[in-house]
Amino acid sequence: MVEEREEHNNKLITEEEEEDAAAMATADSELVEEIVADVREKLDLTCKIGVYSRLMKIENLIRKQPLGIRSLGIWGMGGIGKTTLAEAAFKELSCEFDVSCFIKDFDKDFQDKGAYGLLVKHLRKQLGLGSHVTRLSLLIETLRHKRVLVVLDDVRKPLGATIFLSEFDWLGSGSLIIITSRDRQALVQCQVNEIYEVQGLNKHEALQLFSRCAFRKDVADEKLMELSMKFVDYSDGNPLALCIYGEELVGKTQSEMESVVRNLKIRLPDKILNELKRSYDALGANVDNVMQFLAGCGFFPRVGIDLLVDKSLVTILGNRVQLHNLIYDVGLQIIKDPTEEIEMAYRFVDASNIQSLVENEIGEAAPVPGNEDIKAICLDTSNLDFKGHIAFQNMHDLRSLKISSSDLIKDSQICLPGESQSLPPELRLLHWKYYPLQSFPQDFDAQYLVELNMTCSKLRKLWGGTKNLKVLKRITLSHSLQLVNVDELQYSRTIELINLQGCSGLQSFPDMGQSQHLRVVNLATCINIKSFPKVPPSIKKLHLQGTGIGELFHLEGSTNQVNVSFSDQDLGKLVFMNLKDCSSLRSLPDMVNFNSLEVLNLSGCSELEEIQGFPKNLKRLSLAKTATREIPSSLCHHFSKLVVLDMEDCKRLTNLPIGMCNMKSLALLKLSGCSELDNIQDLPRNLKELYLGGTAVKALRSPLLENLSELVILSLENCKRLQHLPTGMSKLKSLVTLKLSGCSELETIPDLPQNLKELFLVGTAIRYLPSSIGYLAELDTLDLKNCKRLRHLPMEMQDLLPLNVLDLSNCSELELIPGSLPKTRDLRISLTAMPLQAKLPYSFSRFYAHIVTLSLSKAGLKYIPEEIRWMPSLKTLDLSGNGFRNVPISIKELSKLVILRLRYCKNLIDLPLLPRSLQVLNAHGCSSLRSTSLEFKQLPRYYTFSNCFFLPPCKVFTQALDNIIEYMAARQRQQNLENALAFSLCLRSPRSRISKLNLQTGSSVMIRLDPYSRSMVMSFAILVEVSFSKEFNDAAGLGFKCVCKWSDEKGHAHSLENSFHCWAPGEAIPKIKKDHMFVFFDLKMHRRIFEDDVSGSGILADLFVFELIPVNKEEKTCMVTKCGVYVIFDVVGNPSRNATTRLSSSINPDDEEVKTRLR
């Protein structure tokens, strides 16, 4: 049976490679199956989500088996839906069999009744045999002549299933056996013919299942959608978890739901824990070894990772071992559970109790009982509120140490306590980002070290001298800028990977010729490396981009190196080599004998001219921005396996060699920017992507293009000399994207391929479009921007399906005729071409109804036509750069409008009430704007009034604050207040030094809250005034990190961070002039501070300190000059109390209490 399956699979592989028609048929078949499954699910009133698509695959696995006794195993992790699928299959197939039985919890039933007892219990009545029949032989003989369907559910012990199925030889021809198990080996031992692995639900299916369990319907509300996705992401497609978490939310208010989200990983529900823990329990006596699978780390498994895979505890994707979220948290709870008897004790250390292991700067850590049991420490130092030394006394069994910082601004808080203290002697895994010392301790014992990862360290050298590195496999010291040499590595014979990327101070690389396991060397951007490294024959990948290597023939080694020639080395196993941006490299030796090399990147080697020969198995070659004058003829042969050839910006390339049609594997050819290339005689016939933008070609021959039947993308952008396209373009059946933008001499297009989806004609000289454009059923995007000679659109375009994008901007000669416009979702058009009239013709009203995005940017509008209100589907409206003074009040009727852009409308004076649906308003540069109405019922996300210097910031802030209070009070009454309000407001800074806002100087403020006040806090309004330098350019990336600090009743310092973005994603914000103020309203931060302390008893004092830190790519170009914090209280039912109180005040840096918070 195994040989038959292998033969069948090999046949399928051969057919897939040789017959495209078969592949297409398979794809069509799969599509049909998906459609059938979708229809069946919609017709099934029991709403078994995701079942039928998987059931179709199960049925296919069954039906392709030869006649006889067929069998199938259904395998997957606990709760993934094995039983549900088996029940669906049983229900679907049982009508095809004479008798059938479904035995739940088979192991228990078999233990209680035995094989004969199960046959009697489940099959005797179906055979018409009365209870008086006790002869086993009669029962067996009757079954042998029947077609039997038997399902054994949840088999854990294969011996019982094997006995039941085979001992009495009772299954007749045509019978079917289905067995479910979370242990793949159990199915193998039961000798099933096929095994179906149950995959988790996809995101859509998971959301649908969760919604129906939690809300009894599909989610429509955006806020519930956001909350639901947190459960969906965590459950990662596991139906059991989705159902249980969904049922937990039934009848809960939104605030109660948010509490469940916050506690999601603290403790798994018992149903989930017990279900998944069974896989762990099934490991039995091997559990301690299985959970320790890092070879060479003292955790070597006797059973290996395969057992973990078979037990559905881990999965392997590529070369990565992956662990399901639920399995991971089950493991954590097992280890933390004191009732679990685990031979090796583990202790998990996090920032909340790390003080017991860390000495502060002046004192010593108290002795900690059980330090000798600690196996691993994983610490993010950004969560620490103090600096100190980590104390390794008595940690003789520490195997894994990982110290990192997720805070890019904050330095590492942890270091070693002087030279007298060494690292633990048993370390196998050492990760220490930002390691603070210049070398390792002299007595550092590396004999057990398997992996060393010290990125961004301050190391200048390693340890000096010779160390026993008998098991070291991987070392990563990338971006350690002070590192000078790593000569000690030449003594490591087991090393597999060396990553020194970005070590710009590294002067030399040692002779690694004796390290016969070395596979990867990364010296990228090590600018002082001048010689090609000496590497062993085992090497597979070399990352040498950005190094100073200039010659590959005669190399000069350092005192610790051997003079070696690149061509003299045995690089027969080399698969990948990157020499990108080696600007000193002038020539390459003959590489024909590099038989394994598949990827070679020489782009940016600007001095490279001479190329002798390339390996025959090369698949990807990049010669972009080199000085080469021609494509080597050695590539143009029938045996070429090259798939990608990139020669962009090869300014000296003048022509292509004859014989390129022989390159049958070439799918992508990039020649853009080859400005001297003016004649193309030959092209590979199987090309899928061809880029010729910026070349000097004047025309393309018809036979040349007609042969490119596989071509999907053709780019001829900025071919200034191209005057016409050949006839026969319609024969390019596979062409989807045609880019002709910037071809300023192109006047006509004869015809177009029928499957075209994207057509870009920006800035061309065309006057008319071919009538065949009306027959492009797949057309999605048509860009005609700046086609200033275009007169009209063909009438045939009205029959097109709705376009996604139609750009007619700056088509100054275009005259639109009613009926010529296709229906469009995103319309970008100039006023001169837009027939907005007092009364709309019927044909145009039909056209407007489909518009979702309308861009009238720089259209010369002196007023906004009222007809825009007849666009009911409009979501994005861009009116930037026009001259109108007012926005019509009818804009409020656009009930679906989400984004309104009014950038640089310099005559705009005031804004009316805007649609409640609006989330983004960008009024940057509206220099005459003096007033705006910010009344809204649905909280918008981003309001931008940067460079609006006549708009009074205090008045606008007050409006926004009043609306926030009203909005929150209404939501509080409805018990529907969001956990996080992503609302930001950008205004110019108040001109008066004594502003009504009373902002405090500096980037930190403090507030004082008594316990009663803390219990009523609903939100913070955070105000930040920023000064920008002349060099500031990256307004789009600007944001702020807000850090709130306080102490608990035990005196332990706490901090909480939240990040605020100043603009909506994708919004263009040009350079900001003068100082500006940003306002952020936040609910998330206060909830996390007070959620476990409603009475305030857990907080030591009433002082809270807020720090505001700019976050942008350009350092020192913007500075926080002032800031403030307003507190919004819950005043529902307590009208005597003010809704807001300004409570921020300046900080005295000499105040001891403040020092404690800011430490």
Q: DSSP readout, 619-631?
A: -EEE-TT----S-
Cα–Cα distance, 1141 to 517 (Å, whole number): 67
Distance CA(170)–CA(148), nearest Å, equals 9
pLDDT the model gives residue 520: 96
Q: Which residues contact 919 (CB under 8 A, 6 or more apart)?
A: 898, 899, 940, 941, 942, 1064
Nearest 5°: phi and psi at 795? -60, -25
How far is residue 258's CA from residue 242's CA, in Å, rounded to a whole number? 16
In this prediction, residue 1062 carries a pLDDT of 83
pLDDT in tens, 600-630: 999 999 999 877 788 889 999 999 999 998 8
For 465-491, write each residue's pLDDT tens digit. Answer: 778 888 899 999 999 999 998 998 988
Res 18: pLDDT:
47
DSSP alpha helices (H): ranges in 384-538? none
Q: Which residue has the higher pLDDT, 177 or 217?
A: 177
DSSP string, 1104-1148: EEEEEEEE-SSTTSEEEEEEEEEEEE--TT-TTS-SEEE--B---
Contact 1032, 1071 (CB under 8 A): yes
Q: Which residue has the higher pLDDT, 205 or 974?
A: 205
Contact present, 488 and 513 (Cβ < 8 Å):
no
Q: What does the DSSP assignment read for 272-339?
A: HHHHHHHHHHTTGGGHHHHT---TTTT---SS-HHHHHHTTS-EEETTEEE--HHHHHHHHHHHH-TT
* Mean pLDDT of all residues in 321-333: 81
Report DSSP state, residue 807: E
pLDDT-above-90 percentage for the chain: 30
Residue 777 to residues 255, 736, 780, 798, 808, Cα–Cα distance (Å): 49, 12, 9, 12, 20
Q: Which residue has the tokens 């399901």?
A: 324
Residue 145 confidence (pLDDT):
85
3-state secondary structure 343-375: CCCCCCCCCCCHHHCEEECCCCCCCCCCHHHCC
Task: Tell me which of 3.40.605.10, 3.40.190.10, 3.40.50.300, 3.40.50.1220 is the CATH number of domain 44-197.
Answer: 3.40.50.300
Is 1092 a residue whose pLDDT tops 70? no
- Between the ranges 471-475, 701-705, 969-973, 1130-1134, where is the mean pLDDT highest? 471-475
Q: What is the pLDDT of residues 783-834, one digit of tens each?
A: 999 999 998 888 888 878 888 899 988 888 888 776 667 888 888 876 544 4
Q: Say if CB 118 and CB 164 are below 8 A apart.
A: yes
pLDDT of res. 294: 41
**pLDDT at 671 (0 to 100):** 96
In the DSSP assignment, the letter for residue 720 is T
Most confident of 326-340, 436-450, 691-705, 1056-1070: 691-705
CA distances from 1140 to 517, 1060, 1083 (A): 67, 21, 14
The string of pLDDT tens digits covering residues 57-116 is 999 999 899 888 999 999 999 999 999 999 999 999 999 998 999 999 999 999 988 888
Q: Which tokens sit at 583? A: 């600007």
pLDDT at 1090: 55
Q: What is the pLDDT of residue 1135?
A: 40
According to DSSP, the β-strands at 1103-1111 and 620-622 are unpaired
* Ramachandran category for residue 1066: left, alpha or beta (phi over 0 → left; psi -120 to 50 → alpha): left
Instruction: Please give the pLDDT value at position 833.
Output: 44
Nearest to 986 by CA among 1108, 1110, 1111, 1078: 1078
| Rounded Cα gap, residues 180 and 1091, in angstroms | 44
Predicted local distance difference test score (pLDDT) of residue 304: 57
In this prediction, residue 14 carries a pLDDT of 44
Q: Determine the residue type at 867.
A: E
Residues 6+ apart with CB under 8 A from 195: 72, 73, 74, 75, 184, 187, 188
Taking a C-beta distance cutoff of 8 angstroms, is the pair 190, 73 a contact?
A: yes
Looking at 443-457, 489-503, 855-869, which range is the least confident one?
A: 855-869
Average pLDDT over residues 337-356: 51
How far is residue 500's CA from residue 476's CA, in Å, rounded to a whole number?
6
Q: Which of 597, 588, 532, 604 is nearest to 564 (CA)?
A: 532
Residues ≥6 apart with Cβ < 8 Å to 24:
none
The predicted pLDDT at position 535 comes to 92
List, for residues 548-607, the tens digit of each pLDDT value: 998 775 333 333 443 445 656 788 899 999 999 999 888 888 888 888 999 999 999 999
- For the chain, give every residue range classified as CATH 3.40.50.300: 44-197
Q: For residue 681, is pLDDT > 70?
A: yes
Look up residue 534 and give its DSSP letter: P
Would you call 730 helix, strand, or coil by DSSP? helix
Burial of 1076 (0-12, 13-18, 19+ CB in 10 A): buried
pLDDT of 166 higher than 90? no
User: Of 168-172, 197-201, 508-512, 1135-1139, where does mean pLDDT reach its minimum?
Assistant: 1135-1139
Can you give the pLDDT at residue 772? 87
Q: Where are the beta strands (DSSP E) in 836-937?
A: 853-855, 876-878, 899-901, 910-911, 920-922, 931-932
pLDDT of residue 482: 94
Angle 285-289-292 from CA coordinates, rounded to 5°: 150
Q: In the prediction, which pLDDT does 1084 show? A: 61
* Residue 670 pLDDT greater than 90, yes or no: yes
User: Distance between CA atoms of 707 and 689, rounded to whole angstroms?
Assistant: 14
Distance CA 25, CA 1027 (A): 63
Distance of CA 966 to the CA centre of its chain: 37
HSE, CB side, 13 Å, CA atoms: give it for residue 364: 5
Cβ contacts of 1056 within 8 Å, gap of 6 or more: 1043, 1044, 1045, 1085, 1088, 1089
Of 173-182, 712-721, 1117-1126, the range with the lowest mean pLDDT is 1117-1126
Distances (CA, A) of 708 to 137, 305, 682, 806, 1057: 71, 48, 11, 28, 56
How does DSSP assign 994-1016, residue by residue? Answer: S-TT-PEESSEEEEE--HHHHTT
> Is the predicted pLDDT of residue 519 greater than 50, yes or no?
yes
The residue with greater pLDDT, 136 or 975, is 136
For 702-736, what is each residue's pLDDT tens digit? 888 888 999 999 999 999 999 888 888 888 999 99
- For 894-926, write each residue's pLDDT tens digit: 988 999 999 999 999 999 988 888 888 999 999
pLDDT classification of 302: cutoffs 50, 70, 90: very low
Residue 981: CB atoms within 10 Å: 19
496 pLDDT above the threshold of 60: yes
What Rg do the C-alpha atoms of the chain give, in angstroms? 35
Distance CA 19, CA 32 (A): 20
| Residue 291's pLDDT band (cuts 50, 70, 90) | very low
Which tops the pLDDT comparison, 25 or 660? Answer: 660
Report the chain's mean pLDDT, rounded to a whole number. Answer: 79
Of the candidates 1058, 1064, 1057, the residue with the CA atom closest to the CA atom of residue 1037: 1064
Per-residue pLDDT tens digits for 232-250: 998 999 999 999 988 888 8
At residue 1084, the 3 state secondary structure works out as helix
412, pLDDT greater than 50:
yes
Please tell me whether residue 854 adopts helix, strand or coil conformation.
Answer: strand
Output the pLDDT for position 287.
44
Copy the structure tokens of residue 866: 């009222």
Cβ neighbors of 699 (< 8 A, separation 6 or more) are 722, 723, 724, 726
**Cβ-Cβ contacts under 8 Å for 550 (sequence gap 6 or more):** 530, 582, 584, 585, 586
